[in-house]
Structure 1
């Protein structure tokens, strides 16, 4: 049985999906709180974190059991599914272990910074036949989803140009950048997913440029803080993405599709809808400053979709393939930046195939 045709999972007698959360740092804690308090049909049954005090604090806050190891959580009878919210470098092994334990899996992005390693994890998911969803929450934002809907239903016609702006309110610490994989794999990866999502077309070629305009010290990590990426899709559509690590006015996330019949766009929500107008001009509220403020509704909808898919035996809506493609695009963007040339996705796939073959030969 493949993951795409997974049967409905057994759930608790009370009808709730029991989720074990691995990793309760900033993002994991948010997921745990949403799951336990706001997602109908689901609850957190157990948590584990390598930092025991964090696990104890969240366990007490939510009133749930704390497992003393990953293995203990995965072996627990009261865990139907796991949410992997740990650091990226742990994702592959945790996915493999969870798949072998027969648990449904939700994993934060990215699965890995290495395509061959990602393929190893996804092969374990496929072999086990367990449901899997990757955490690209922006697909569930109502405004972004409306842009996709306008493409799917033909309102805007054939997509010709996509523009995506993604700008953070402030840059991350240098230490984070050293281990995150860089701007294309920890930030733009969401935009690569959004480009595929709204166009419905795969990416075949990537061209990237970058600069250090905000934090010159990011050069120590081989990274940039400002970037523009152009994607060429299979259907001929072109996507341009602009990224900045520092938008002084707040968290800026916009998507636009221009097609043969019109255009559709998502604009930034305001902190509230109040406006003040005087002789001096107009004053409007600022943008949200933090990603949680901007995307809480999307995070909640993401979990609701995952739970519904598991209960009904359907494929979760953001699949393993959806997790894989943006990583390949991100790796192509990094190579394009370094080598100052367009890079085809075929190059990246050939490298991954070669790496997988080498690993198999040495095993």
Structure 2
């Protein structure tokens, strides 16, 4: 396959990011962009965008299309996945794979039946510093892993409208962390305990969500883990991971615009962390789609599978159940 013909379904913030990356890939042709707001005037904004349509079925009906990127709101993911799989298109789907369990499993089985490639868009697996922790673990440099800590804090809360449709903090924000703990540890999580509150904005609590949460994890090996999330960090986008083992520790801190530290008699100063995920994970977004298209073109194994997407949802479901039961330990359910 010399050129991979692609349609992007959903052109919001993430769809735009993928457009910018795909438009720079010499082996990828963006033949369609689909969005409810799309019209011919988009040609100026998206010069490499091919045709602009408002119904994604037009993309799926084109036999020239090899793959689609699904970037619509999460509640729409399962049906679009089913339709794309039945049309024989390879699928890259943004996280999470869905909210409703029956719909997710229906989509999962449709993909399996069709035999198409499917990748879940957990871009943080491609962050080079996170991957270095995995390399240290696999090389035995850390000994037996014993404690995994993940901190993930956004610079500012999302809008109320976003909160209402997001599925809640565990399925929207912490879903990334649920995937990354499995990736960093190389293990499955056995039990989850969760605490949460609306400390940043009480109205978020009135909407039925939390904006601050701590989740503790017990892994299959007995290793312990903790994730802390906040929707607001006044100093910028806070993303840190630490894997502690019997022989050592691997620590990944925040990325900064400059790594220069200035020390004077008045104190020590450095730049704040990069402001948000679009800056911090810019390269990771590019790499995840490059790897997807490499498999589509040449065959091989998808690194972040549909199963990985569902397992992250299972962790989110367990955390929510624990939260609703006073922080009780909840066993993580299997895919089916």
Identify the match of residue 29 of structure 1 among 2, 12, 16. Answer: 16
Between the aligned partners of 2:18 and 2:46, the Cα distance in structure 1 is 16
User: Relative to structure 1, is the Cα distance of residues 274 and 73 closer, same or farther in structure 2, using a 3 angstrom cutoff?
Assistant: same
Offset of residue 315 of structure 1 = 2.2
Between the aligned partners of 1:253 and 1:176, the Cα distance in structure 2 is 22
Aligned residue in 1 for 2:60 = 74
Q: Does 1:115 align with 2:101?
A: yes
After superposition, residues 166-181 of structure 1 pair within 5 angstroms as 166-181=152-167
Offset of residue 262 of structure 1 = 1.0
Aligned residue in 2 for 1:358 = none
Identify the match of residue 131 of structure 1 among 117, 122, 128. Answer: 117
Between the aligned partners of 2:254 and 2:261, the Cα distance in structure 1 is 16
The C-alpha deviation readout for 1:209-253, integer Å capped at 9, x for no partner, is: 011211100012211111100111111111100111100110011
User: Relative to structure 1, is the Cα distance of residues 198 and 54 closer, same or farther in structure 2, using a 3 angstrom cutoff?
Assistant: farther
Between the aligned partners of 1:58 and 1:91, the Cα distance in structure 2 is 28
Query: Could you say which structure has the higher helix fraction?
Result: 1
Greater CA deviation, 327-336 or 274-283? Answer: 274-283
Between the aligned partners of 1:124 and 1:268, the Cα distance in structure 2 is 39
Identify the match of residue 27 of structure 2 among 41, 50, 63. Answer: 41
Gapped runs of 5+ residues in structure 1? 1-10, 354-363
Between the aligned partners of 1:67 and 1:210, the Cα distance in structure 2 is 41
Offset of residue 276 of structure 1 = 2.7
User: Relative to structure 1, is the Cα distance of residues 55 and 293 closer, same or farther in structure 2, using a 3 angstrom cutoff?
Assistant: farther
Structure 1 SS opposite 2:5: strand
The C-alpha deviation readout for 1:336-359, integer Å capped at 9, x for no partner, is: 00111111114xx5xx86xxxxxx
Between the aligned partners of 2:304 and 2:284, the Cα distance in structure 1 is 13
Greater CA deviation, 149-158 or 329-338? Answer: 149-158
Aligned residue in 1 for 2:170 = 184
User: Relative to structure 1, is the Cα distance of residues 125 and 197 closer, same or farther in structure 2, using a 3 angstrom cutoff?
Assistant: same
- Superposed CA RMSD in Å reads 1.6
Structure 2 SS opposite 1:306: helix
C-alpha contact 2:157 2:232 (8 A) present in aligned 1? yes
Between the aligned partners of 1:268 and 1:60, the Cα distance in structure 2 is 32
C-alpha contact 2:43 2:49 (8 A) present in aligned 1? no
The C-alpha deviation readout for 1:106-129, integer Å capped at 9, x for no partner, is: 000001112222111110000000
**If the length of structure 1 is used for normalisation, what is the TM-score?**
0.89
Offset of residue 68 of structure 1 = 4.1
Structure 1 SS opposite 2:193: strand
Aligned residue in 1 for 2:193 = 207
Aligned residue in 2 for 1:17 = 4
Offset of residue 59 of structure 1 = 6.3
Between the aligned partners of 1:54 and 1:204, the Cα distance in structure 2 is 51
Structure 2 SS opposite 1:62: coil
Aligned residue in 2 for 1:342 = 329
Gapped runs of 5+ residues in structure 2? none
Identify the match of residue 267 of structure 1 among 253, 256, 269. Answer: 253
Aligned residue in 1 for 2:139 = 153
After superposition, residues 195-344 of structure 1 pair within 5 angstroms as 195-340=181-326, 341-344=328-331
Between the aligned partners of 2:181 and 2:40, the Cα distance in structure 1 is 36
User: Relative to structure 1, is the Cα distance of residues 174 and 55 closer, same or farther in structure 2, using a 3 angstrom cutoff?
Assistant: farther
C-alpha contact 2:170 2:320 (8 A) present in aligned 1? yes
C-alpha contact 1:21 1:46 (8 A) present in aligned 2? yes
User: Relative to structure 1, is the Cα distance of residues 40 and 202 closer, same or farther in structure 2, using a 3 angstrom cutoff?
Assistant: farther
Structure 2 SS opposite 1:82: strand
**If the length of structure 2 is used for normalisation, what is the TM-score?**
0.96
The C-alpha deviation readout for 1:291-345, integer Å capped at 9, x for no partner, is: 1100001111111111111122112111111101010000110010011111111
Between the aligned partners of 2:171 and 2:48, the Cα distance in structure 1 is 32
The C-alpha deviation readout for 1:53-88, integer Å capped at 9, x for no partner, is: 598357643352223421111111331100000001
